[in-house]
C-alpha cells in the first residue's frame, strides 16, 4: 500500500518533532511504500501532501485537530483513507473515533492499517473566500475569539492553553448579533456569545459543546445561547465546560442538515481550531464522506 505520512513538527511546541519520522518508519517496516512530509506552515503542508496523495492510497496525519483538518481537506469526499495519530494539544476527532491516546494509536497502528475503514460525516463550509471541509466543530463569536487568542498563547502549556484562552476571553467577552437559518427555515436572530455548528461532541481538547452530537448520523448540531448578562454568562460557561448546558432554557440545541449564519459585523469563523474565513457561511453535512481507519 502507498501511504503518505503528514506530521506537524511544531505540535505540542515541538516536543513531538521526531514522531512523524518514527511513524513513517513503523509503517515502512510493515511492508508499505511511505512518503513522509513535515512542513512547518499549513499552506506548504497542504500543497505538498495533496500532491503526494495523487498516487497514494491512505493518509496518516500525526498531530492534533489542526492536522486532521488538513487531512480531511485532502481526502474528504474521495476514496482515499485517513489514519489519525493523536499528537497535538487538542485531539477531539481522535477521541471521537475512540482513539484515546498517542500510545494506543502507536500500539495499534498495524491493526488500524489492516482494518476495514469506517465512514464518518464531515462538515462543508461555504464562505466568502471559498469552500473548506471540517471534521469537528464550526465556531463563531466567543468560541472563535478563544481560538484566535489560543494561537497567541505560545508560552502557555499546551494541556491548558485552550482553558487559559477561555479565561482571558471571559474578561472581555463581546456579544455579536447573528442571523441564523437552519434547514432553509425561517431566519432567526441571536445576540449571543455562544454559537457553534457541531459534527463532533467536543472541541478545544475535550469541551463537550454538543454532548449528543454524532459523526455518523448525517446530521449537524446547532448550539446557540441567548444574550446573557455577565454573571449569568459565567454560570452558563461553567455548564458548557461540564456539558450540562444543553438542558438550560436559555440554550437552543437543534439537529439540522444545513445552517446558514450571517452578521452585519466582521466575524471570524473557526473550524477544528483553525481559522477558515469570515461570515457569512453556509454549513452542510457531508454524510459518510470520510473513510477513516479506527482501532479494532
pLDDT digits (tens, 9 = 90+) for 15-31: 556 899 999 999 999 99
Reduced DSSP (H G I as helix, E B as strand, rest coil) percent helix, strand, coil of the chain, to 5: 35, 35, 35
Span 218-231, mean pLDDT? 95
Is pLDDT above 70 for 158? no
Residue among 263, 84, 58, 269 at smallest CA distance from 179 = 263
Is pLDDT above 70 for 155? yes
Is pLDDT above 50 for 215? yes
Indicate the helix (H) or strand (E) that contains 243: none
Is pLDDT above 80 for 126? yes
Given a contact cutoff of 8 angstroms between Cβ atoms, the answer to whether 200 and 137 are in contact is yes
pLDDT at 202: 96
Indicate the helix (H) or strand (E) that contains 186: none
pLDDT at 288: 98
Q: What is the CA 283 to chain-centroid distance, rounded?
A: 14
> How far apart (Å, rounded) are the C-alpha atoms in residues 8 and 37?
9
> How far apart (Å, rounded) are the C-alpha atoms in residues 277 and 31?
41
> How far apart (Å, rounded) are the C-alpha atoms in residues 262 and 280?
4
> How far apart (Å, rounded) are the C-alpha atoms in residues 151 and 161?
9
Question: Which domains are present in the chain?
Answer: 2-115 (3.40.50.10330), 132-288 (2.60.200.40)
Extract the runs of DSSP E, i.e. beta strands, from the chain: 2-7, 33-38, 58-63, 81-86, 118-127, 130-134, 137-141, 176-182, 188-192, 194-198, 220-225, 251-256, 258-262, 268-271, 274-278, 281-292
Q: Is omega for the bond preceding 280 within 30 degrees of 0, making it cis?
A: yes
> How far apart (Å, rounded) are the C-alpha atoms in residues 162 and 169?
10
Given a contact cutoff of 8 angstroms between Cβ atoms, the answer to whether 179 and 261 are in contact is yes
DSSP class of residue 41? Answer: S
Span 112-140, mean pLDDT? 97
pLDDT digits (tens, 9 = 90+) for 175-203: 899 999 999 999 999 999 999 999 999 99
Q: Which residue has the higher pLDDT, 26 or 237?
A: 26
**Bridge partners of residue 133, in order along the sequence:** 124
pLDDT at 173: 87
Q: Given the C-alpha cell 479494532, which residue does it identify? A: 296
> Which grid coordinates are listed for 86?
493523536
Is pLDDT above 70 for 293? yes
> How far apart (Å, rounded) are the C-alpha atoms in residues 195 and 137?
10
> Which grid coordinates are listed for 21?
519520522
Dihedral angle of Cα 222, 273, 150, 278, to the nearest 10 degrees: -70
Amino acid at each position: 500500500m502507498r501511504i503518505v505520512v503528514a506530521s506537524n513538527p511544531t505540535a505540542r511546541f515541538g516536543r513531538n518533532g521526531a514522531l512523524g519520522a518514527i511513524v513513517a518508519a513503523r509503517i515502512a517496516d510493515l511492508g508499505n511504500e511511505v512518503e513522509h512530509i513535515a512542513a512547518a506552515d499549513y499552506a506548504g503542508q497542504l500543497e505538498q501532501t495533496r500532491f503526494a496523495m495523487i498516487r497514494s492510497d491512505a493518509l496518516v496525519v500525526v498531530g492534533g485537530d489542526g492536522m486532521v483538518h488538513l487531512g480531511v481537506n485532502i481526502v474528504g469526499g474521495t476514496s482515499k483513507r485517513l489514519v489519525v495519530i493523536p499528537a497535538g494539544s487538542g485531539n477531539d476527532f481522535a477521541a471521537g473515533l475512540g482513539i484515546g491516546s498517542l500510545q494506543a494509536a502507536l500500539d495499534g497502528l498495524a491493526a488500524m492499517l489492516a482494518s476495514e475503514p469506517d465512514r464518518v460525516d464531515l462538515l462543508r463550509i461555504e464562505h466568502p473566500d471559498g469552500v473548506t471541509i471540517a471534521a469537528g466543530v464550526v465556531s463563531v463569536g466567543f468560541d472563535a475569539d478563544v481560538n484566535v487568542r489560543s494561537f497567541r498563547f505560545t508560552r502557555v502549556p499546551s494541556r491548558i492553553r485552550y482553558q487559559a484562552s477561555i479565561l482571558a476571553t471571559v474578561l472581555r467577552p463581546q456579544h455579536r448579533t447573528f442571523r441564523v437559518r437552519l434547514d432553509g427555515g425561517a431566519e432567526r436572530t441571536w445576540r449571543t456569545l455562544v454559537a457553534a455548528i457541531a459534527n463532533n461532541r467536543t472541541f478545544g481538547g475535550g469541551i463537550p459543546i454538543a454532548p449528543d452530537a454524532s459523526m455518523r448520523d448525517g446530521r449537524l448540531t446547532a448550539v446557540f445561547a441567548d444574550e446573557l448578562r455577565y454573571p449569568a454568562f459565567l454560570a452558563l460557561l461553567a455548564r458548557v465546560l461540564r456539558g450540562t448546558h444543553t438542558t438550560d432554557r436559555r440554550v437552543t440545541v437543534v439537529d439540522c442538515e444545513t445552517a446558514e449564519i450571517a452578521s452585519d459585523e466582521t466575524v471570524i469563523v473557526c473550524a477544528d481550531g483553525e481559522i477558515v474565513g469570515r461570515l457569512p457561511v453556509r454549513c452542510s453535512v457531508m454524510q459518510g464522506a470520510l473513510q477513516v481507519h479506527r482501532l479494532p
